[in-house]
Amino acid sequence: MNNQPEARVRFTRQEEPRSAQILQRDERTFRVHTSAYTDERVFREEMDKVFAKTWVYVGHASEIPKAGDFKTSHIGLQPVVVSRGEDDTIHVFVNRCVHRGAVLTRDARGNATEFNCPYHGWVYGIDGRLIAVSERREPGGYSENFRQPEGLFRLPRVATYRGFIFASFNADAPGLEAFLGRARSVIDRKLNLAPGGEIVLRSRPFVVRYQGNWKFQAENIVDAYHFLHTHKGFVNLQARFGDTTGDFGVHKGGSVKEMRKLRFQGATWSCAHGHGMLENPSSHPETYLEGEFSSFYEGIRRTHGDEEFAWLVGKGAVSIFPNVGMIHQQIRTWRPIAPDVTEVTIYPYELKDAPDAYNEGMLRSQERFYGPAGHGAADDVDIFSRNQQGLLGSAVDWLILERGLDTDELVDGDWRGLPASEAPQRALWRAWARLMCEEQT
């Protein structure tokens, strides 16, 4: 049973929508106020108290493999550059000239020896250090007493876990592995499906914006409850044609009854630092040892053993608070732009040293469900915009996140839920409340 002693805080329409008043929580109640998704003041507070205070995913090491490689990313509303220095060190710095504020580069990825500001020509190294101030001694230039900045604002914390690059503006953020906690198991199992335990981001990402709050995507990637309803058209397609249309086994076909049975297996997790998880080991892992890729799977089974092999070929997904998730063979990020505008980027990845045909088949499955002509992404984007549209009304205050609340069990500091519990969604809100309300608690 769920016995966490959490106070219930009421929100009245006459009060300001302060973060401490947005959640109703006790052992039988878990509700979120509409303003958490719609209010501009709450959104701005999130940028300061969530995205500026915790670890945020900014890229993968395979995107910057060589010295001088860089990519652009965001931490909340802050544009940043992720670069690899000559000594192989990964740097993350704010993508803004310290002189008059211009963004230094708009390229998604590239290789450079320096960054030259297009406004007044100030020059920065690949690590963000200020190398030169243009026309410094010309008439009307800078005096001998000019206090020259050291360089671009460099984030005080940068760390990687198995190639996943995270950064934080908070010098006192906990260690990355401690922050990831149980969520590491999803990363580990997805990467351990590769013979050498590595993945590579090689394909161009798919980028889409939707008219809705960023938390809808963070909640949805680990929402086992919605699939048979939101994606009803795709479910009917699968029931009729199975994998013959190119699914490559990512979404198992069969009747709706069979799909329901498959999806309501395994467990959900609400992790201590805000991460939500779905996990479902394969009930018939031996079937993977047959067919075209039998030798590939047999090598994985020999390396990791029978029990772990069932997990590796099973279904797992994770939403790592606040901005990145993994599902199937993709890394997915979401970037808040406004309370009602979010940008989602989907990065299909390859398993390093896996058969080319396997990686190609998985890429085709991504296109089938998530790409611009896919079945799934359009459904989700439509739902997010419907959610935001519904929240514009003022007749109803609260959203209900209580599914499975009475059956969640505390295990080593994390809450374990039944297969279609909303435990993963509650994880986000518990972490959100700690960060947003820390000054009041």
Q: Is the dihedral of CA 305, 192, 348, 430 positive or negative?
A: positive
CB of 259 closer than 8 Å to CB of 238: yes
**Total domains present in the chain:** 2
Query: In this predicted model, what pLDDT tens digit does every residue of 32-73 receive, in sequence order?
Result: 999 999 999 999 999 999 999 999 999 999 999 999 999 999
Residues 153 and 195 in one domain: no
Same domain for 282 and 382, yes or no, is: yes
Asked if 272 and 191 sit in the same domain, the reply is: yes
Q: Are residues 285 and 390 in the same domain?
A: yes
Range of the domain at 128: 56-159
Q: Enumerate the H helices of 16-162 as residue ranges.
A: 35-38, 40-46
169 domain residue, yes or no? no
Kindly state whether residues 188 and 138 are assigned to the same domain.
Answer: no
| H/E segment holding residue 341 | strand 341-348
Q: Which CATH number fits the domain that encloses residue 256?
A: 3.90.380.10
pTM of the model: 0.92
* pLDDT on residue 18: 60
Cα of first residue to Cα of last residue in the chain, in angstroms, is 26
Segment-wise mean pLDDT, segments of 10 residues, the chain, 441 residues: 39 48 91 96 96 98 98 98 97 97 96 96 97 90 91 97 98 97 97 97 93 97 88 82 72 72 85 96 92 95 96 96 96 98 97 96 88 85 94 91 96 95 97 82 35
Side chain identity at 381, as an amino acid letter?
A: V
**Percent of the chain scoring above 90 in pLDDT:** 76
**pLDDT recorded at residue 245:** 64
Asked whether residue 275 is assigned to any structural domain, the reply reads yes
DSSP 154: B
Kindly report the number of other CB atoms within 10 A of residue 246's CB atom.
Answer: 13
For residue 379, give every residue at least 6 positions away whose Cβ sits within 8 Å of its Cβ, in sequence order, or none.
Answer: 230, 231, 233, 234
